[in-house]
Structure 1
Amino acid sequence: MRSLSVGGSAAVLLGLAAAAPPPHKHRAPHYAASQWRADAVKKAFQVSWDGYYKYAFPHDSLRPVTNRYADDRNGWGASAVDAFSTALVMENWDVVDQILEYVPTIDFDNTTTEVSLFETTIRYLGGLVSAYDLITSPFTAHSCKTSDVDAILRQATRLADNLKVAFDTPSGVPDNNLYFNPPRKGGSTTNGIATIGTLVLEWTRLSDLTDDAEYAKLAQKAESYLLRPQPESGEPFPGLLGTNVRLSDGQFVDSNGGWGGGTDSFYEYLIKMYLYDPERFAEYKDRWIAAADSSIKYLVSHPTTRPDLTFLAMWQGKELRFFSEHLACFNGGNFILGGLTLNEPAYTDFGLALVDGCHATYTATATGIGPEIFAWQDARQPLNATNNPPAPADHAGFYNASGFWITNGNYVLRPEVIESYYYAYRATGDTKYQEWAWEAFERVNRTCRAGSGYSSIRDVNQPGGGGFHDFQESFWFAEVLKYSYLIHAEDAPWQVKADHTNQFVYNTEAHPIRVAGAWGTAKPWR
């Protein structure tokens, strides 16, 4: 483990963002709630829930155009569990009671489809643990039957007990692909750093709640191979890793990566674990600092036509690739959270610059919604370099105006841009981020509203979105609607704090998990 100095990166960061000092440097943030906007988001939640409950419940997801359902997450009611924590923070007690009645009936022993350890952890396990944390602390005044509340934790434990087989490998690095009836591994030989490194918050929290160390130990052992990567080629830049690890010995098999899909939430959870418990997870903080500093030093990129925009490149070994994803737009919020947590405004400032870049991907399109994947030509690399091609001829006009071109125009109800607006607002109190979030919500509300709910769309740069995919993702409930609501809602215990009084930390599915120190539940698991 190598702890890097934060101060060195501060000078680099301040040189990158030569803008007016943000409000948080001069005053504590002041938040301005907007009840009518919060209520509008709650209305969209209710529309989405009513359509799901009528046409799809207790299956996983609604197909709103055709009023059918999909069992894309093992048929355990993914949308219901993903909606649980959002219904709680919205204090939508009718929906809370419907989900609370359903949770004890889920049969986590049986499914006919392959089980993803990662997706099941962030959606189901995270959703249940979060609901338990919320109901047993901030919402103790709401009348829930004790037996129903206890069933939430019992079901989380039952699910984790079935998932534990994933870690039964020579190294302890889990197999992400499982089958149930009975639980068994799918026979993978490798796993990715996101699907290894995005388990530790939920599994550690379950140990802390149940006083059973096994869950935490399993996830933390798997994580240890990412904290101390081998061989050296698996860490092409300090703190920045390849993607895939062998299950046999925990060794990296490539050196390709980025802050996008497949790797993203590994970096996200490093600082979030430190926020969860700074005593137990100081090493995670050091690894986040290493990744953040290397990202600033090696990955920062400005488009040739819009040098005012800041993006982070992907990498193949030490060679950069100048494209990014909607998924990667959580990175602004993660840098902001890191800056707040570590008392380092330079990280927060850099996060705000990344937020500005992702905001530009929304304002440039016909729908006002950002694309799934976009690319640009880097202003500092040779323009004839093989890794730095110009925009295709048919995209040149768009690139000249916007600073990026679209390589995949889908929008699948993703939350990451609004998520980063939320962190920017909570860090600064600057109402422009509320305006950006409201504008994004209005555009999504207008474009994606379809039939009995909301649907992913085919092309963000076509009027009306170019048609529907007829699918309402469960994370629409957990993430998009939650962040869209929270940025306009009154302050509350689960809101992100800028003053080191956080009582919750959000998992990658936006389920708020009670931090260990908030109620004395820290345990000495190693």
Structure 2
Amino acid sequence: MARIKSVVLGALLPLTFALPHNTPEDLNMKRRYDGLNSAAERTQAVIDAFRVSWDGYYKYAFPNDELKPVTNSFSNSRNAWGASAVDALSTAIIMEQKDIVNTILDYIPTINYANTTTEVSLFETTIRYLGGMISGYDFLTGPLAKLADNKENVDALLKQSQNLANVLSYAFETPTGIPFNGLTLASRGVDGGPNGLATTGTLVLEWTRLADLSGNKTYADIVQKAESYLLHPQPPESEPWPGLVGMDIDVNTGKFLDARGGWVGGADSFYEYLIKMWVYDPNRFAEYKDRWIAAADSTIQHLTSHPKPRPELTFLAMYNGRSLSLVSQHLACFDGGNFILGGQVLGNQSYIDYGLKLVDGCHETYTQTATGIGPEIFGWDETKVPGGQENFFNKSGFYITNSGYQLRPEVVESFYYAYRVTGDSKYQDWAWEAFQDINATTRVGSGYSSIDNVNVVGGGRKTDFQESFWFAEVLKYSYLIHAPEAEWQVDKGGKNKWVFNTEAHPFKVSGGT
């Protein structure tokens, strides 16, 4: 989210039987799924896509971080610790892909979290590695323990989580306790700059859960101390409306350096975690809930925007002080799901209804493009329509300023929350259509690749990168929206037994240990 972030098809149309290449025929892969309308068929199709992605990664990239599916090679953008493997664990567990689960479990104990030659992002490492291991531990010591062949490997998930947290914890050794985000582990070096709202405010769920599981309260204390500066922002002008704050924080003073933001990359998952912490433990985190309500109410009152050509659509503007910019991102499209979750757990239908409007708007960013996939960045300021997009803007209600798609999950994520809370099958159909279009456009070589232009047939150039969150998020939400009832599914009545971190790794709520 805050990135600067399996139908029983089996014998019918198993993707694992043939690995198509980037030929014109592949642009019509959606035809392979025509008529697959049952939940069992759809879930198996997503499992098949997961296995194709995993098989390509395992053959050409494991234990490196990511697969480069066009060239059948690998990259290491996340510390060279096997990001795709750790990120894939909770999805493989939920899909009950036992062979993949145990392959990952055999690998995780071998990771040396103290050894990397790259700069480490505290934020990205927390949500992917720490989140992935904690979620796996919650599942494999709980409802899906049957999937693990070796109990020692399950125990290692918690031990390795502690090892990783211990390695990272020096980031918090600052005058305020607000951590640095960019770390050089070998020298215990730091990037020395300000930290961001999301990169500071999207640690508290993972580290608190680790504290609760391990019994080491320090893990929770250090992240909650850092979060306290975000809950009580200074100076006052950094909070232009109640609950809505700036983006950059001085690590040494704890003061915000600006008053710009929105529900966009760099800020997004701070707001997401406010309500999720209350879901995790309503007794300890009542203040977080209150801050989410303040931010949600201010958002509805001040950031709501409707494009002139399509006034029925609802988007959220960005802000600088009290000046608005009519621009948003694919990353921001988690907002509908977060409002829906907030309304669900608070028993407030107005938040749910507002969230559903945001879901509708983000759905349109998909349906209006040539690929059926939404762009990285879009705008709707009628005075800034790029040349050549006038007709597109008048038809769709938005224009495109960055046409890439990086295998992002946020739109499907919000479809998932909308379906779980309303029970309306149209959201399942929207997620299925998105899955088909993503599969048709991004499938290439040994896996799935980011693309550079969602608004041309075929998606333009394949940029040869399969993100680890493709496993963790896109395929998980695409599966869960059609999957059977289970205790980890979002509960329509608001009695959630699990809560998802921003990388879609589910954790048991407090008291469920």
TM-score (norm 1): 0.90
How far did 1:82 drift? 0.3
Decide which of 155, 158, 171 is 1:153's aligned counterpart.
158
Structure 1 unaligned segments of length 5 or more: list them: 1-31, 378-387, 520-526
The answer on whether the counterparts of 1:170 and 1:247 sit within 8 Å (CA) in structure 2 is yes
2:494 aligns with 500
Structure 2 residue identity aligned to 1:252: F
| 1:85 maps onto 2:79 in alignment | no
1:361 aligns with 365
**SS, match of residue 365 in structure 2:** helix
Structure 1 residue identity aligned to 2:311: P
1:27 aligns with none
**SS, match of residue 76 in structure 1:** coil
1:261 aligns with 265
Decide which of 352, 374, 386 is 1:348's aligned counterpart.
352
Decide which of 471, 484, 500 is 1:477's aligned counterpart.
471
| 1:96 maps onto 2:90 in alignment | no
How far did 1:143 drift? 4.6
How far did 1:518 drift? 2.5
Q: Which runs of 4+ in 1 moved over 6 A?
A: none
**SS, match of residue 400 in structure 2:** strand
Any idea what the Cα deviations from partners look like across 1:313-349, whole Å, max 9, x if unmatched?
0001110000000000000000000000100010000
In 1, Cα distance between equivalents of 2:191 and 2:449: 34
The answer on whether the counterparts of 1:115 and 1:180 sit within 8 Å (CA) in structure 2 is yes
Structure 2 residue identity aligned to 1:159: L
In 1, Cα distance between equivalents of 2:390 and 2:334: 27
Structure 2 unaligned segments of length 5 or more: list them: 1-36
1:169 aligns with 174
2:54 aligns with 49
1:513 aligns with 507
Decide which of 319, 323, 342 is 2:323's aligned counterpart.
319
The answer on whether the counterparts of 1:33 and 1:489 sit within 8 Å (CA) in structure 2 is no
Please give the residue correspondences for 1:118-267 in structure 2 after superposition, counting only pairs within 5 Å: 118-182=123-187, 184-267=188-271
In 2, Cα distance between equivalents of 1:133 and 1:96: 14
1:275 aligns with 279
1:13 aligns with none
| 1:71 maps onto 2:76 in alignment | yes
In 1, Cα distance between equivalents of 2:471 and 2:79: 18
1:402 aligns with 396
Decide which of 89, 100, 110 is 2:115's aligned counterpart.
110
The answer on whether the counterparts of 1:189 and 1:248 sit within 8 Å (CA) in structure 2 is no
**SS, match of residue 393 in structure 1:** coil
In 2, Cα distance between equivalents of 1:187 and 1:109: 18
Query: Percent identical across equivalent pairs?
Result: 62
Any idea what the Cα deviations from partners look like across 1:217-276, whole Å, max 9, x if unmatched?
010000000000000111011100000000111000100101000000000000000000
How far did 1:493 drift? 1.2
Structure 2 residue identity aligned to 1:351: G
Structure 2 residue identity aligned to 1:80: A
Task: Tell me how many residue pairs correspond in the alignment.
Answer: 477
Structure 2 residue identity aligned to 1:283: E
| 1:294 maps onto 2:298 in alignment | yes
In 1, Cα distance between equivalents of 2:113 and 2:312: 50
1:376 aligns with 380
Structure 2 residue identity aligned to 1:499: G
In 2, Cα distance between equivalents of 1:91 and 1:141: 10
**SS, match of residue 505 in structure 1:** strand
Structure 1 residue identity aligned to 2:393: Y
Please give the residue correspondences for 1:315-464 in structure 2 after superposition, counting only pairs within 5 Å: 315-377=319-381, 389-464=383-458
In 1, Cα distance between equivalents of 2:349 and 2:89: 34
1:467 aligns with 461
In 2, Cα distance between equivalents of 1:475 and 1:259: 19
**SS, match of residue 157 in structure 2:** helix
Structure 2 residue identity aligned to 1:35: A
Any idea what the Cα deviations from partners look like across 1:102-156, whole Å, max 9, x if unmatched?
0000110100000000000000000000000010011123353221111111101
Structure 1 residue identity aligned to 2:219: Y
**SS, match of residue 466 in structure 2:** coil
**SS, match of residue 141 in structure 1:** helix
TM-score (norm 2): 0.92
Any idea what the Cα deviations from partners look like across 1:187-239, whole Å, max 9, x if unmatched?
42310010000000000000000000000001000000000000011101110
How far did 1:33 drift? 7.0
In 1, Cα distance between equivalents of 2:298 and 2:324: 13
**SS, match of residue 518 in structure 1:** coil
The answer on whether the counterparts of 1:118 and 1:198 sit within 8 Å (CA) in structure 2 is yes
Any idea what the Cα deviations from partners look like across 1:412-469, whole Å, max 9, x if unmatched?
0000000000000000000000000000000000000010000000100011001100
Q: RMSD of the alignment, in Å?
A: 1.0
